Structure 1
């Protein structure tokens, strides 16, 4: 019918199944067409009209949805689905308190356990939107009372505990849950993560082992167990667990990267770099992989290779601030000052406003003889780091270099008042300036 516009008769329930299918797979245009055809054949069907309101919500037509729901409410005042859709409309407009109140009405009308469980979950989600984590926990726990294996509710409860930094309470809750459902790999996995957060690595390890006993194909448990073993410096065992994940499922860049790091810790450089290569091959967009390779060669003082790989990374993602910072540092080590300066400027342009970034760029501009640009750079830095001795000493030296004595004296006095221990900056960057008698006098007076 949808393809040919020919008219065939379907029961309203069949239309509902068709519409639900299209909504599930995200084919909204087909769902809309199916709703229209359904309502043409069954103009009084409440369920089809509820699907119509769902489509209105997806299109942000909240007034149309509200109007239709009010009409349906007059006809069927005790239909819980109408209140659920009303709550959906309110939620999409960020009226979460009103959505909760509407769902509570639906809850009074609900009769079967499955429907009640779904409503508890919806209320819990609305409380999450309101950042009311204690209330959210209450309703997600009610979901588990109805269905002990509602893992979505279980994850949401742990999310609440995590957000509130209540790790001990989360551990207590999970242990009580495991008393009722002792072979739940999800709960053991979450328990292990909580122990890991509070640095109790032995208990974390035991929890992940129980998760694996409950389901020996649970990739997440092997990954987390590998992380714990790394913390305990048991790198060989960590590698074994990460390798199990590679055998169980498609290789993940995370596991490949961690194997690389473990080999590096064991001093097995050839194997380490092999796995770093595999990481970026598996996921070229994972910045941690490129950073690992670059830092590996950096540490080995093989700056040419480090530069080669950071350039490859920048070609893939030119907006990654960490890449540009590494690019600047490596070029600086290679004494490619123009490229280093470009790297630091790009780092700043991308929002990395660390003091050291400003200072490194300044020092390179000084080395390049770009004194005015260095002054402008420091003035910008001073907006983020006012009254900073490292900035003031550099400004003093630059103004003296540019024969702007009054400005030079002003910044030198400021610098000495802030922290005279940074005097060495003048000695390192402006040795000729330091020889001037007038400057020596200012420094001597400040020391008294």
Structure 2
């Protein structure tokens, strides 16, 4: 029969634990060396029996009082049981015995952070960096980056990761992390230089190409970003995040067909996600292929039924096709989730108005005005609806309120003129038209859109003509 090393190790460990239990109870005087105590501590620690692990550490230290390793093990357990000050005292003692153990600095850092003493943690690690090289220095830099994260010194996190990559350009953990922190801190130019250097040394690092692309994207250099993503994909054809980001870059460039192609690749490589379906829907929407846009918005909605925005987007595709009643059904669903969302109320108001249901439309537009009292388009929609529904007295009140809330925007002066005309108050109408033409003559088209027949009034034509004659544009 073959020997089974794992089984032998387990048997040996069981024997060590048995000897420890006997030693603890005073039934045996078996000799346990330093390494045996370490294995026993780890055995109990792995089983989350911290009390017995601590007892093993204390018994080991009694027998080996000059063992820095056992002192460090005990400090680790004390930190796990939230005895931070005691752990720091033990670590001070261990440092006198062996100051070259990296775990000393990592555990001290953990204790300082737990005690909300970030400054001490930073100072400790910055000093420790001078003592270590190679992998140990990299480990400390990662630890320091975590401290800076806790301390919200975000630029210094980037600095730590940059130092790691300068020492070990192909460190995957650092490559993954620096991509996020580049975007967060906006240090795209530095990231570009760093990753170009890495690529010179490691031209087949798909992560370096991806990070380079992401930094270009952060600077809105979308063509360069796409080129770099393509290199990442050549190296790793299943790099779904590269396809995902490339899709976003194509959308920014309004290259919707290309975006759809790469986003569909994402769907092949990873689990279906609502955001990818939504992005593809958005591309078809922009291409005015509303049926396909709906298809993908609905797919997204099936994966995220509580996202009201997706129901709203489906409704908008129907609005674009003037299918008002079908749009209303989807807007109803969106409004059940978020009743006072201004965009949904605005769209519903538009649908109701187009169907001649003016009173209901007015209610929806009024909701928007309450939510956005200084928004011009909200007031414009409400006044337009009141005018089209021939509620001229109410339109007059609302247009005056709009002028007050928007600090006299010229649009509402033209609307005021239009409402006065509708009420038969010709003198007031002409006065307001003169006033509006004097401020923003080009906006007269808004008055014409409100009531195309207004140009049949000779007095209106005269005012507009006189202004054009006196003040040529």
Give secondary structure in 2 for the equivalent of 1:76: helix
Other-structure match for 1:52: 81
Greater Rg over alpha carbons, structure: 2
1:140 is aligned to 2:161: yes
Deviation at 1:138, TM superposition (A): 1.9
Deviation at 1:50, TM superposition (A): 0.8
1:104 is aligned to 2:158: no
Other-structure match for 2:146: 122
Give secondary structure in 2 for the equivalent of 1:136: helix
Contact 1:121 1:143 in 2 (8 A): no
Deviation at 1:301, TM superposition (A): 1.6
Deviations 1:147-172 (A, max 9, x none): 54444533543445445555444322
Aligned 1:328-343 pairs, distance under 5 A:
328-343=349-364
Other-structure match for 1:69: 84
Structure 1, unmatched stretches of 5+, are: 1-7, 20-33, 54-67
Aligned 1:234-253 pairs, distance under 5 A:
235=257, 238-253=259-274
1:90 is aligned to 2:120: no
* Cα distance between partner residues in 1 of 2:361 and 2:316: 17
Deviation at 1:417, TM superposition (A): 6.8
Other-structure match for 1:222: 243
Give secondary structure in 2 for the equivalent of 1:301: coil
* Cα distance between partner residues in 2 of 1:403 and 1:262: 48
2:299 to 265, 275, 278: 278
Deviation at 1:355, TM superposition (A): 1.5
* Cα distance between partner residues in 1 of 2:410 and 2:76: 71
* Cα distance between partner residues in 1 of 2:369 and 2:120: 45
Deviations 1:237-270 (A, max 9, x none): 5444333322222112233234444555667554
Deviation at 1:304, TM superposition (A): 1.8
Contact 1:223 1:245 in 2 (8 A): yes
Deviations 1:202-239 (A, max 9, x none): 5433322221222222211222334455547472x544
Of residues 336-345 and 347-356 in structure 1, the stretch that sits farther from structure 2 once superposed is 347-356
* Cα distance between partner residues in 2 of 1:144 and 1:360: 56
Q: Structure 1 residues 191 and 108, CA, compared in 2 at 3 Å: closer, same or farther? A: closer
Q: Structure 1 residues 16 and 418, CA, compared in 2 at 3 Å: closer, same or farther? A: farther
How many pairs are equivalent? 400
Give secondary structure in 1 for the equivalent of 2:81: helix
Deviation at 1:324, TM superposition (A): 2.7
Of residues 251-260 and 296-305 in structure 1, the stretch that sits farther from structure 2 once superposed is 251-260
Of residues 185-194 and 154-163 in structure 1, the stretch that sits farther from structure 2 once superposed is 154-163
Other-structure match for 1:62: none
* Cα distance between partner residues in 2 of 1:395 and 1:418: 14
Q: Structure 1 residues 271 and 361, CA, compared in 2 at 3 Å: closer, same or farther? A: closer
* Cα distance between partner residues in 1 of 2:364 and 2:332: 11
* Cα distance between partner residues in 2 of 1:381 and 1:72: 69
* Cα distance between partner residues in 1 of 2:143 and 2:407: 54
Deviations 1:61-103 (A, max 9, x none): xxxxxxx433433343244212333135437xxxx66653354
Contact 1:293 1:309 in 2 (8 A): yes
Q: Structure 1 residues 410 and 201, CA, compared in 2 at 3 Å: closer, same or farther? A: closer
Contact 2:414 2:446 in 1 (8 A): yes
Deviation at 1:403, TM superposition (A): 13
Contact 1:358 1:381 in 2 (8 A): no
Aligned 1:5-404 pairs, distance under 5 A:
11-18=40-47, 45-53=74-82, 68-77=83-92, 78=95, 79-80=104-105, 81-90=107-116, 100-101=122-123, 103-104=125-126, 107=129, 112-113=136-137, 115-126=139-150, 129-130=152-153, 133=155, 135-145=156-166, 147-163=168-184, 165-198=186-219, 200-229=221-250, 231=253, 233=255, 235=257, 238-263=259-284, 270-286=291-307, 289-318=310-339, 320-351=341-372, 353-365=374-386, 369=391, 371=393, 375=397, 379=401, 382-383=404-405, 385-391=406-412
Deviations 1:100-152 (A, max 9, x none): 3354356567783454133232244257x245x2x333212123245544445
Q: Structure 1 residues 149 and 426, CA, compared in 2 at 3 Å: closer, same or farther? A: closer
Contact 1:256 1:275 in 2 (8 A): yes
Q: Structure 1 residues 205 and 97, CA, compared in 2 at 3 Å: closer, same or farther? A: same
Contact 2:402 2:412 in 1 (8 A): no
Contact 1:395 1:411 in 2 (8 A): yes
Q: Structure 1 residues 402 and 279, CA, compared in 2 at 3 Å: closer, same or farther? A: same
Contact 2:109 2:121 in 1 (8 A): no
Deviation at 1:197, TM superposition (A): 4.8
Structure 2, unmatched stretches of 5+, are: 1-20, 25-38, 59-70, 96-103
Contact 2:277 2:297 in 1 (8 A): yes
